[in-house]
Amino acid sequence: MLCKIMMKEKRQILIFALFALIILLVPLFLKGNYFLNVLVFIGINTLLAVALNLLLGYAGQISLGHAAFFGLGAYVSGILTTRFPVDPWLSLLIAAACAATLAFVIGFPILKLKGHYLAMATLGFGIIMYIFFNETVDWTGGPSGLSGIPNLRLGPVIFDNDLNNYYLVWIITLGVMLLSINLSQSRIGRALRAINDSEVAARVMGVNARILKVQIFTVSAFVSAIAGSLYAHTMTFISPTSFGFNFSVELLTMIIIGGLGSIYGSFLGAAILTMLPEFLRVFRDFDIVIYGLMLILITMFMPSGLIGGLEALFKIIAGKIKWSAARNV
């Protein structure tokens, strides 16, 4: 049995290695910068989706205000590097630490709530942060945004073009994905899924649900803020509209469309929701209708998300092949 578990882990590592290889090789086959730019956004959105998935997909705690942590990361990083002579890498770490600290502090009261009440509380938090970004004009530049944020640099390499940004964003994203997959296989991952299913049962098993929920919320905010900081340094310009309620809902849509609790699902959801508007541009004014229709169809016919849908499809095809093979014999 131990051997079989090892086998399973090996297969997981193999799948991840394959995925990482494909991601890292993609730019070699691409011509033109436009698509590469979209891929950078997919990377940042995947990072955010994975962060939210840790909270909602694993631990079952909803957040309708995750764009606030994304924004906090972006603004802390942006303000530190434009108004103070702080190194961008250091500002990235400070931004992530700020978001994590805030999440830890508000996590204790907020995560006592469950279901709709938790959704309302996180929604309120998101709105407060949005107003904060908008109104503290002296710091954030208010509605007209904050510009002139410096790029990250590593030795002689400056991350100011799409190719460099692609590798910067995706290496971090792949790292976080690997850690998340690892977490889901661990004792803590099991405990989180237990909380998701039945908090009372998890507690009588000795899982300290209250602390664990706050911890995963903090980790989720930390990763979201890193995504925010990366966004600020690659775009060099940020404004509050990117961090509003709409974006929180979009993040939620990504992980539900992709498949709750699946890290590759987060990637699929982020990729599709980032690319879809680009592809639908040919429909002009009707793009939003088709966009909505596709989301409805996916949730209706693939209730466990695209990942679950693909798995089911694969099984059906595999079954058909077996069946026809058996008939031929």
Partner 1 sequence: MLRIKNINTFYGQVHAIKNVSLHLAEGEVVTLIGANGAGKTTLLNSLSGIVPPKTGQILFNETEINNLAPHKIVRLGVSQVPEGRQVFKPLSVADNLELGAYLNYKIGGSKIESKKDMELVLELFPILRQRRKQLAGTLSGGEQQMLAIGRALMAKPRLLLLDEPSMGLAPMIVQEILKVIANLSREKKTTILLVEQNARAALKIAHRGYVLETGRLILEGTAEELLENKDVQRAYLGRDKKEIWER
Interface contacts to partner 1, rule CB under 8 A: 1-2, 187, 190-191, 193-194, 196-198, 200-208
State in angstroms the smallest separation of the CB of 8 from partner 1: 10
Q: Are 13 and 19 in contact (CB under 8 A)?
A: no
State in angstroms the smallest separation of the CB of 206 from partner 1: 3
Q: Which is nearer to partner 1, 208 or 299 (CB)?
A: 208
Q: Which is nearer to partner 1, 204 or 325 (CB)?
A: 204
State in angstroms the smallest separation of the CB of 165 from partner 1: 38
Q: Which is nearer to partner 1, 2 or 28 (CB)?
A: 2
CA–CA distance, 112 with 117 (Å, rounded to integer): 10
Q: Which is nearer to partner 1, 23 or 195 (CB)?
A: 195
Q: Which is nearer to partner 1, 7 or 293 (CB)?
A: 7
Q: Which is nearer to partner 1, 191 or 270 (CB)?
A: 191
State in angstroms the smallest separation of the CB of 183 from partner 1: 14
State in angstroms the smallest separation of the CB of 184 from partner 1: 11
* β pairing state of 153-154 and 146-147: unpaired
State in angstroms the smallest separation of the CB of 203 from partner 1: 4
Q: Which is nearer to partner 1, 153 or 193 (CB)?
A: 193
State in angstroms the smallest separation of the CB of 201 from partner 1: 4
